[in-house]
Chains A and B, each alone.
Chain A
Amino acid sequence: MQHFFVAFWIAGVVTATVVAAPLRVVVSYPWIRSLVEEIADDQVSLYTLAKGSEDPHFVVPKPSHIAKLRKADLLIIQGASLEIGFLPPLVRQANNPAIFPGNRGFLDLSTAVSLIEQPQAVSRAAGDVHPQGHPHYHLDPHNIPVLARTIETKLCDLDPDHCPLYRKRLGDFLRRWQAKLQQWDQQCASLKGAKVVTYHKLYDYFLRRYGMQLVGTLEPLPGISPSAKHLSQLIQQMRAAKVRWILQDVYHEQKTARYVASKTQATVKVLPHDVEALPGIHSIFDLFDYIVKQLTVQP
């Protein structure tokens, strides 16, 4: 009797693996993971390379990254050179042609949106400028629908059997997102003209969407640590412009921001740049809810 059950169980497992064999998707950042979850639910197996609290430019490589990339059917990246510091060697070591750039199992989301600040001439003289343009495009909530659609199209291409499900879930997601967009747009209307300083040029898509004005950054140039002379000039500028907030990311040191705040009228707001960057932010909805709340609800 027992043997019978065991045989039955094995048969079941084997059938399940053969029939289901879910698409194996590797994504670089948690916000992409959140979008894939919205569309595919648990129809795909998902693995995220970066932690939300990590500096997205530098992700510490681990053996599991190579193992997951080696078996992946689809790799979805943010692109615009954001992953240039860690992903190319990982993909090379994984040696899985399916996910090589340009192949069917590779999706660079930056190609779906129009990037701001594309440099006229690429030169390292301006610091760490990404040649394709500003890479942190996911922080404009109005960019999310086209990104979700791009992911759905790719999932349908690789896994046509589940396409109806993906399409249905995408529609559902877009409806909920549209409702949220209206709410956020309304709340953020008051932000128009607000003057801010950020540590890194990170939130520019959000600032541009809601008409906020970036007066300067704590970094003199992208990727270069704050220097005394630059900060003293910045403090003068901030006093003159009456800057309201210093927007601080979670992965750089915060001492500089607090020091500059103490010399000016500005207050420091620590904002997440990605899902899981701060506790309690588990989805792309949470991410923008948190950012909007931080900026619109008076302390």
Chain B
Amino acid sequence: MDILLDPILLSLVLLGIHAYFGREIIHRGIIFTDIALGQFAALGLAIALLLNLENFSYEFAVAATLGGALLIYLAEFQKRFQEAFIGLAYAFAAALAFLLLSKSAQGAEHFLSLTAADILFVPRQDILHTAIFYAVIAILIYFRERYLRNRWRELGFYLLFALTVSSSVKLAGVFVIFAILLAPALVSHLLRRGLIFAWVYGAAINVAGIVASYYWDLPTGFTLVFFQSAAALIVFLILAFVRRSAGEKR
């Protein structure tokens, strides 16, 4: 059973900060920022491979992610079209990473093995480090809300989100992060509850998904993604139905 303990711990550490960001990005309507930033992290990795600077791949990934965040922040000045811009930024980063890899003669296999993250694989020490890192980010979020105003406040949001994503995607993979980011946040918005509810709800679904992956012996990451997304879709549809019929009665 203690095989499950590490993935559950990690999923809870991730949930803490991602539920907060998830609520924010749903509120702002910039959902695909996460996927786009994940792709920028991969682009940074591809650049590191191209330059034969594999030892600095993490630094490259962080730099590329911050660059991506800056781009998406600049798109705020065209708020109406920001989501379309984010979608294109994703395609841009993905295509450029692929092109660089084909020229660098670095095996795509090798790239995949560097980008392949699995929630089963993360050692406890890394989980601890991540928890400390997110605690620091949380403190910075507090300072941002308290002291930063206007443009700086917005820029701070994007940069902190980029730092979070570049670390978490590396640990758990882009799908797991997308699910943990959006599903609990969406459900809490739908039920008009707050961050605490998102944490409790998200933790329950995470644990259920990971335990289920053990009992049915399924790939753990994708089971978690399935549970989070399926539960959120069900809540969404039930609420849509209930609220619609309630509206009709009135």
Contacts and interface: CB of A to CB of B under 8 A. Distances in A.
A122 interface: no
A221 B110 CA distance: 12
Interface stretch (B139-147, B160-168, B196-204, B214-222): B214-222
A64 B219 contact: no
Interface string B108-149: 111011001010110100000000000000000000000000
Nearest to A200: B109
Interface residues of A, number: 27
A159 B218 CA distance: 33
A224 B123 contact: no
A160 interface: no
Contacts of A125: 105
B217 A127 contact: no
A223 B109 contact: yes
B213 interface: yes
A34 to B, nearest CB: 22
A181 to B, nearest CB: 33
Interface in A93-131: 93, 124-128
A64 B219 CA distance: 9
Nearest to B110: A128
A61 B121 contact: yes
A61 B49 CA distance: 25
B246 interface: no
Nearest to B213: A63
B240 interface: no
B113 A63 contact: no
Interface stretch (A84-92, A161-169, A184-192, A235-243): A84-92
Nearest to A125: B105
B113 A85 contact: yes
A61 B121 CA distance: 9
Interface in A63-95: 63-64, 66-67, 70, 84-85, 89-90, 92-93
A143 interface: no
Interface in A175-230: 221-225, 227
A60 interface: yes
B219 A62 contact: yes
A22 B52 CA distance: 48
Contacts of A222: 107, 109
B107 A93 contact: no
Contacts of B6: 93
B74 interface: no
Grouping DSSP codes into helix (H, G, I), strand (E, B) and loop, the A interface class, with mixed when no group exceeds half, is: loop
A57 interface: yes
A58 interface: yes
A225 B108 contact: yes
A221 B105 contact: yes
B3 A66 contact: yes
B112 A58 contact: yes
A213 to B, nearest CB: 25
B120 to A, nearest CB: 5
Contacts of B108: 223-225
A92 B123 contact: yes
Contacts of A227: 102
Interface in A127-170: 127-128
A85 B109 contact: yes
Contacts of B3: 63, 66-67, 70, 93
Given A128-B109, A223-B110, A227-B102, A62 B121 contact: no
Given A92-B123, A125-B105, A227-B102, A84 B217 contact: no
A93 B105 contact: no
Interface in B144-177: none
Interface string A7-23: 00000000000000000
29 contacts: A58-B113, A60-B219, A61-B120, A61-B121, A61-B219, A62-B120, A62-B218, A62-B220, A63-B4, A66-B3, A70-B3, A85-B116, A89-B118, A89-B120, A93-B6, A93-B120, A93-B121, A124-B49, A124-B52, A124-B54, A126-B105, A127-B107, A223-B109, A223-B110, A224-B101, A224-B102, A224-B105, A225-B108, A227-B102
Interface of A: 57-58, 60-64, 66-67, 70, 84-85, 89-90, 92-93, 124-128, 221-225, 227
Interface of B: 3-4, 6, 49, 52, 54, 101-102, 105-110, 112-113, 116, 118, 120-121, 123, 213-214, 217-220
Given A92-B123, A222-B107, 4 more contacts: A57-B109, A58-B113, A60-B219, A93-B3
> Ordered nearest first, which 9 A-B pairs have the shortest CB separation?
A223-B107, A128-B107, A223-B109, A89-B121, A85-B113, A64-B217, A128-B109, A63-B214, A127-B107
